[in-house]
Chains A and B, each alone.
Chain A
């Protein structure tokens, strides 16, 4: 018997707006209007401003560890804009702030989270998202489950989950992909391949040439896009979301991008990254190419830039004021959300802020005055 080929595959790479701001008009057809691009560009500047100020807050001791989003904003903004606010559901990692804001998360929530305050995770009613996910690669299964519920209830809704290149090494990632594909649920797997998992470069993380090809094993439509290209991100995500909404099951998007900053403020990427590599990616910054594009169309200029930067600083100053104006929660907050109803021992711990039985009930030790009375 002759050997026959039973499967072949290819991965397409989509870029619509190149790093010089030149648009492929044909591919850009029916994507973003000029007004939308301008709005999203302005939003990107505001998000970048917040990100830079958050970094400074950490450095000046006003906030804990923070993972900068810098350089990756086109991913969050293009994909977030492709999903329906109030309908679709976001299941993020921790480098998609802008998508969360687009879907209604007040900006100060992100700061609260990194200021060590759980109330930053208390997503407001009607805002469809899970809070930031700190461990790597666990949240994609939740997105699959959420999408499964949409399918069971015949709701025309889609879940988008975000994760990095490193997360695709975790077992949970593969389980999520297989469940989603086998059950044909409406979920979009959005991989921000930012080339680095802390200090480990993508080529040491996996031996596959692309991340996108991992989806082929799960029989899922897959594409690689330029993650710093707002148009490509928007188009690929919109197509995937529409397909999912129409009952076409899950899709995978590998967005090639770059973490311009350190992994977090606790990291120092200079220890392991070639500065020339960072320098090269600086030129691919999504903000630079969008500005060139808008200026080329006569929709933007230095005055508008200066005005919007000032406006962004004012917005961000207000956000920080709000976040820092929220007082430390009372110690009741440690206990109150552990269960719907607190067990008696936890009630005692909450009331006394003590675990030792004699400290909870000092009269046992012959002391009449309870410690916390």
Chain B
């Protein structure tokens, strides 16, 4: 929606930035259709689509029946028929019923038709923990979708990145899973370019340059890492990388950094085993083997079901665990 005076003065939250990207793309491209549960009249349960139905009408911002497989499956049909659907799945835990349509159909159509049929859809999904939500409202399933050939997976952490990456995702010729870290939906504001701009999918961002150790993360964990960096002794020089795109992986940025620093800690909310950190550690040992001064470390969620919120903060990686692991890696 158009910016309010407050947004102009103080900047946009992640929610505002995503809303702005959707607004601008609905305006620019008549093929764009938003569909999902409560996205219209209610503006989404997180208000990400606030106001859009009023401006663009109930045919383009559609409150669907309550059926995730239906949302994803019909989005595939819309895409096949030349539309640019942007389905929303209300919480990442509810991707379950949509899994078959997303992974067995959207992801495979280009391959199984030898490129004759493509599925340019962008599924938006609030993602991750930290907001004291009920069960199945706090998971971090990015690795599952990154492990599905044919899907691209994006997870921005800042308002500016979210807007630019979402515009790229919508215009991408292939299906993109756009994970929105709900923990930082409204945690801060920043100035975001007002016009049309894109940030390429597959490009990580060096948040802070450093020479002793590389810390790689994405989503809300960027902020736990920044907090950790504040707590580290001044003589430890950390290079912090926000992956931004989960797949395709920006191997160049990672390799370049780790060849420089020789040490790496990957921080993720998702369970440790077979998470993205595992893949990043493998890439690093494949490309940086002789540069390494310490084993790559994973600060991750535990290999358990995400606990209910009383224990949520014990589960999620925090600055303390990150600081400690950086220290151990430096001491190795």
Contact = CB atoms under 8 A, between A and B. Distances in A.
Interface of A: 64-65, 113-118, 134-138, 166-167, 169-172, 197-200, 204-206, 266-267, 271-272, 328-329, 331, 333-335, 338, 343, 345-346, 349-350, 353-359, 362, 364-367, 371
Given A118-B307, A331-B314, A355-B302, A170 B67 contact: yes
B204 to A, nearest CB: 21
Given A329-B310, A355-B272, A170 B304 contact: no
B332 A366 contact: yes
Interface string B96-108: 1100000000000
B311 A333 contact: yes
A206 B70 CA distance: 13
A356 B305 contact: no
B298 interface: yes
A200 B37 contact: yes
B134 interface: yes
B310 A328 contact: yes
A359 B322 CA distance: 10
Given A328-B310, A346-B302, A272 B295 contact: no
Interface of B: 37-38, 40-43, 45, 63, 65-70, 93-94, 96-97, 132-137, 265, 272-273, 294-295, 297-305, 307-312, 314-315, 321, 324-325, 328-329, 331-332
A353 B314 contact: yes
B273 A345 contact: yes
A200 to B, nearest CB: 5
A171 B68 CA distance: 9
Given A169-B70, A198-B42, A345-B273, A356 B325 contact: yes
Contacts of A362: 328
B284 to A, nearest CB: 14
A263 B266 CA distance: 39
Given A329-B310, A333-B311, A355-B298, A116 B331 contact: no
Given A137-B66, A365-B332, A334 B298 contact: no
B66 A205 contact: yes
A266 B329 CA distance: 42
A53 to B, nearest CB: 19
A171 B69 CA distance: 8
Given A197-B66, A359-B324, A271 B41 contact: yes
A176 to B, nearest CB: 13
Contacts, number: 156
Contact of A116 (B94, B136, B265, B310): B310
A31 B65 CA distance: 37
A33 B136 CA distance: 43
A349 B303 contact: yes
A335 B304 contact: yes
A357 B295 contact: yes
Contacts of A199: 38, 40-42, 63
Given A199-B38, A335-B304, A367 B311 contact: no
Contacts of A172: 97
Given A200-B37, A328-B311, A355-B298, A64 B331 contact: no
Contacts of B272: 345, 349, 355
A349 B66 CA distance: 38
A61 to B, nearest CB: 10
B132 to A, nearest CB: 5
Contacts of A334: 302, 304, 307, 311, 314-315
Contacts of B314: 331, 334, 353
Given A166-B65, A359-B328, A365-B294, 14 more contacts: A115-B310, A116-B310, A117-B310, A135-B97, A166-B66, A169-B67, A170-B68, A171-B70, A197-B37, A198-B42, A271-B43, A272-B41, A358-B294, A359-B297
Contacts of B298: 355-357
B134 A371 contact: no
5 contacts: A113-B308, A204-B63, A333-B307, A349-B304, A358-B325
A25 B224 CA distance: 66
Given A356-B298, A357-B295, A338 B305 contact: yes
B307 A338 contact: no
Contacts of B97: 135, 138, 170-172
A272 B312 CA distance: 32
Given A115-B310, A356-B297, A371-B324, A169 B65 contact: yes
A118 B308 contact: yes
B303 A116 contact: no
A14 to B, nearest CB: 26
A359 B96 contact: no
A198 B38 contact: yes
Contacts of A358: 294-295, 297, 325, 328-329, 332
Contacts of A271: 41-43
